[in-house]
Structure 1
């Protein structure tokens, strides 16, 4: 296994674990913020879901800049 392949596997594993943690905590966080304000609950959910896509965008940008 090449070093770049190992790096990709580690990055994928970290992304999967963090996604699981964020998505499993999402309902609890949204409901807790929703007790203060429905808009705050919506915003917290949107930020958590947006962070999921932000990670993939940042990784693609990094790979494009490093020609991988």
Structure 2
């Protein structure tokens, strides 16, 4: 029961964190896009990949922890 609660709390923090970053993402991409469209695209790509990477790494950690 405690493991489920910890997983839910961790996921909530991750989603809230990415939500806050995602809220400011359009401004950030537009600001960087004025200097380089390639850099702006890279920032957007890193944001999306980072979201999945965090949960993937958390899954690996949980599998090792549960052995």
TM-score range, shorter chain: 0.7 to 0.9
Gaps of 5+ in 2: none
CA distance in 2, matches of 1:42, 1:16: 22
Distance 1:25 1:51 in 2: 16
- The answer for the alignment partner of 1:12 in structure 2 is 11
List 4+ stretches of structure 1 deviating above 6 A: none
Shift of the alpha carbon at 1:8?
Answer: 1.2
User: Please, which runs of 5 or more residues in structure 1 have no aligned partner?
Assistant: none
* TM-score normalised to structure 2 length: 0.86
Alignment length (residue pairs): 67
